[in-house]
Amino acid sequence: MRYDKSTMAEQKNVLRKNNQETGERKKGKYKKIIIDRDVCIGAASCVAVAPGTFQLDEDNLAYVVDPDKYDDETLLLAAQSCPVNAISVFDENGKKIWPLDQA
pLDDT tens digits, the chain, 103 residues: what are they?
A: 334 455 444 444 555 665 667 888 888 899 999 999 999 999 999 999 999 999 999 999 999 999 999 999 999 999 999 999 999 999 999 999 999 886 5
CATH of the domain at 27: 3.30.70.20
102 in any annotated domain: no
User: How many domains is the chain built from?
Assistant: 1
C-alpha distances out from residue 98 to 57, 76, 77, 101, Å:
23, 8, 10, 8
* Domain membership flag for residue 15: yes
The boundaries of the domain holding residue 38 are 5-97
Residue of 48, 98, 47 lying closest to 72 (CA atoms): 98
Rounded-to-integer distance, Cα 9 and Cα 4, Å: 9
Q: What is the pTM of this model?
A: 0.80
DSSP state of 71: -
Do 69 and 53 meet the contact criterion of CB atoms below 8 Å apart? yes
Residue 103 lies in a domain: no
